[in-house]
Amino acid sequence: MIIRDETNNAIGATVGSLSGNLHLWRIRLGVIGRMIGQFMRMNHRIYKKSRNRPKS
């Protein structure tokens, strides 16, 4: 009984910390994804500009 309660508490604690970390990671990934998106868009614009430049 005691051992089972302890394991349940440990599992509950790990699950709680994991879900908290997942929330943080979701925010972090969202920020990183947004930064990557802006970077890719910038590169795309530069790439299009350089491609449209007439060859001399």
Domains of the chain: which residue ranges?
Answer: 1-56
pLDDT of residue 24: 86
From first to last of its 56 residues, the chain has per-residue pLDDT tens of: 567 888 888 888 888 888 888 888 889 999 999 999 998 888 878 777 777 666 65
Q: 45 is written with which tokens?
A: 């614009």
pLDDT of residue 1: 58
pLDDT of residue 16: 83
Q: Global pTM?
A: 0.42
pLDDT of residue 35: 93
CA 5/CA 34 separation, integer angstroms: 43
